[in-house]
Amino acid sequence: MIPVEWVCRRVATGSFLKRNPGVEEGLLLGYRFSPLKMEMFFKDDANNDPQWSEEQLLEAKLCLAGLTIGQCEVDIMSRSTVAIFEMVEKAWATQNCSLVDMKIEFGVSVKSREIVLADVIDNDSWRLWPAGDRSQQTDKQVYRELKEVTPEAMQMVKRSFEWVSERVKLLLEPQASSRVVLLMGSISDVAHCEKIRKACASYRIPCVLRVTSAHKGPDETLRIKAEYEGDGIPTVFVAVAGRSNGLGPVMSGNTAYPVISCPPLTPDWGPQDVWSSLRMPSGLGCSTVLSPEACAQFAAQILGLRDHLVWCKLRASMLNTWVSLKLADKKLQACSL
């Protein structure tokens, strides 16, 4: 375990106010941190866990499981803390509850020498204000602020913790179903569509595959479109059509739903065919993404605006990409030395 506690704050409250007099408390009228406020505290009970700066942590040259905590490791812990907070914050927002602040700790894997989250995130780790109202707080502060420990007071604490326990079960439930409808101009495009479907599955977004040609059967294309517009499920249409792409523009001109063109370009005519996806008539908002994986990611970014689980998948993917680049850079620098 790395003996440092990382605290991430969205709202100024608690010990931050004591250390920063003059800052207003509260979610509505008080100080709100955007971007998030990061603090770290060295775990030392004898000295009441003093606050440390990044410079103090670096100068401590802590070594755990053979890994010396340097700038790379500090950056990974800092970036990870923000990402974890944002994902938990997004989940609690679905329950109309504000995540005010949160503390977590990290460790070093003995086997891989990697920085890993090494903490239990529970009702002792955060401040939760239902509806953004401090008077309704449901976290450990309910107990800490008791003037007297009585049976009645403990029942109130128990109710608060039970409320959190019940709501936590709901955090992993999707708030709204969503989907991607893949429209291919020919069955020969199915391999390209399967790549998009596989990438969508990584975000747990269901895909529906249909075959329709806007050139050869525009009435059937519009009928299929209406089929998915009529049930109220948030939907992104993806048009997969080679050669002359009429599918994307026709869909975009006849629906208010988002449409993405992802043409399966070929080496021989690809440079010419792509213009049918890029040059749109006025009034059309059809986006073009050439990579099947990037197309799925773009669809996830749209659907993630309403589905916190999809959004969290995207946020975690961003963090993992950043960490992998950071570690690759560290490895390269070590080789150069």
Confidence class of residue 287 from pLDDT cuts 50, 70 and 90?
Answer: very high
Q: Which of 181, 71, 167 is nearest to 126 (CA)?
A: 167
Q: Which region among 47-56, 177-186, 236-245, 318-327 has the lowest average model confidence (pLDDT)?
A: 236-245
Q: Is 178 exposed, middle or buried (0-12, 13-18, 19+ CB in 10 A)?
A: buried
Contact 242, 267 (CB under 8 A): no
pLDDT at 225: 96
Q: Which of 263, 39, 11 is nearest to 128 (CA)?
A: 11
Angle between helices 308-336 and 71-93 (to 10 degrees): 180
Q: One-letter amino acid identity for 2? A: I
SS3 297: helix
pLDDT tens string 106-159 = 999 999 999 999 998 889 999 999 999 888 999 888 888 888 999 999 999 999
For residue 294, give Cα distances in angstroms to 191, 197, 200, 303. Answer: 16, 12, 10, 14
Contact 221, 214 (CB under 8 A): yes
Q: Domains in the chain, start-ordered, CATH in brackets?
A: 2-173 (3.30.470.20), 179-306 (3.40.50.1970)
Dihedral sign, CA of 196, 197, 198, 203?
positive
- Say what the pTM is: 0.91
Buried residues in 66-87 as b, exposed as e (16+ CB within 10 A): ebebeebbbbbbbbbbbbbbbb
pLDDT of 9 > 90? The answer is yes
Phi-psi region of 232 (alpha: psi -120 to 50; beta: other; left: phi over 0): left
For the chain, the maximum distance between any two Cα atoms, rounded to a whole number of angstroms, is: 80
Q: Which of 102, 107, 108, 120 is nearest to 14 (CA)?
A: 102
The Cα–Cα gap between 211 and 274 comes to 20
Q: Which of 208, 211, 217 is nearest to 236 (CA)?
A: 208
Higher pLDDT, 141 or 104: 104
Read out DSSP for 103-119? EEEEEE-TTT--EEE--
The Cα–Cα gap between 146 and 249 comes to 63
pLDDT tens string 168-190 = 999 998 877 899 999 999 999 99
SS3 224: helix
For residue 275, give Cα distances in angstroms to 129, 193, 269. Answer: 52, 20, 11
pLDDT at 272: 83
Contact 265, 291 (CB under 8 A): no
> Tokens 């595959």 correspond to what residue?
209
| Residue 269 in tokens | 């005519």
| Residue 287 in tokens | 């986006």
Contact 40, 52 (CB under 8 A): yes
pLDDT of 29 > 80? The answer is no
pLDDT at 273: 81
